[in-house]
Structure 1
Amino acid sequence: MQIIEDIERLEALYGAPAPNSVAKVTPRLTPHYRTWIDAARFVILSTVGPEGTDASPRGDDGPVVRIVDDTTLWLPDWRGNNRIDSLRNIVRDGRVSLMFMVPGAHSVVRINGTAKLSVDPDLTESFEQKGRHPKSVIVVSAEEVYFQCAKALMRSDLWARDDAEGLPTAGAFIKEMVAEFDGDTYDKGYPEYAKAKMW
Structure 2
Amino acid sequence: MSDYTPKPEHRITDEASLRQLFGATHDLAMRKSLDRLSGHAQDFIRRSPFLCIGTQSADGRADVSPRGDPAGFVTILDDRTLAIPDRPGNNRLDTLVNIVANPSVGLLFIIPGFDDTLRVNGRASVVTDPDLLAGMAIQNKPPKVAIVVTVTEVFMHCAKAFRRSHLWDPQHFQDRSEMPSLIKIILDETSGAPADDKDMRALDEALEQDYQKTMY
Offset, 1:191: 3.9
Larger-gyration structure (1/2): 2
Identity of aligned residues (%): 35
**Is 1:174 aligned with 2:186?**
yes
Matched, 1:190 2:201: no
How has the CA–CA distance of structure 1 residues 173 and 109 changed in structure 2, closer, same or farther, with 3 Å as cutoff? same
Say which SS state the counterpart of residue 91 (structure 1) adopts: helix
Give the paired residue count. Answer: 199
Q: 4+ residue runs of structure 1 moved beyond 2 angstroms?
A: 180-186, 188-196
How far, CA to CA, are the matches of 1:195 and 1:76 in structure 2?
18
Deviations 1:67-123 (A, max 9, x none): 111010000001111010000000111000000001100001000110001012222
Instruction: State the partner residue of 2:80.
Output: 71
Structure 1-normalised TM-score?
A: 0.94
CA distance in 2, matches of 1:24, 1:187: 46
| Letter aligned with residue 74 of structure 2 | V
Give the distance between the partners of 2:208 and 2:108, measured in 1 at CA: 24
Instruction: Tell me what 2:3 maps to.
Output: none
Aligned to 2:63: 54
Query: Are the aligned partners of 1:174 and 1:183 in contact in 2 as well (CA < 8 Å)?
Result: no
Query: 3-state DSSP class of the match of 1:109?
Result: strand
Which residue in the other structure is 1:123 paired with? 132
Change beyond 3 A, Cα 1:138–1:172: same
The equivalent residue for 1:162 is: 173
| Alignment of 1:85 onto 2:98 | no
**Partner in structure 2 of residue 141 of structure 1:** 150
Greater CA drift, 81-90 or 155-164 = 155-164
In structure 1, C-alpha distance between the alignment counterparts of 2:22 and 2:209, rounded to whole Å: 47
State the shift of 1:152 in Å.
0.4
- Matched-pair contact (CA < 8 Å) for 2:73–2:136: no
Deviation, structure 1 residue 62? 3.1
| 5+ long unaligned stretches in structure 2 | 1-5
Are the structure 2 counterparts of residues 180 and 71 from structure 1 closer, same or farther at C-alpha, using a change threshold of 3 Å?
same
Instruction: Rate the CA distance shift 1:169–1:175 in 2: closer, same or farther, 3 A.
Output: same
Change (3 A) 1:96 1:183: farther
Report the TM-score, using the length of structure 2 for normalisation. 0.87
Identify which range, 173-182 or 136-145, moves more after superposition.
173-182
SS in 2 for 1:144: strand
Give the equivalent residue in structure 1 for 2:38.
Answer: 30
- Answer yes or no: is the 8 Å Cα contact 1:171–1:184 preserved in 2: no
What secondary structure, in the 3-state scheme, does the structure 2 residue paired with 1:110 have? strand
- For structure 1, list consecutive stretches of 5 or more residues without a partner in the other structure: none
Q: Match of 2:50, as an amino acid? A: F
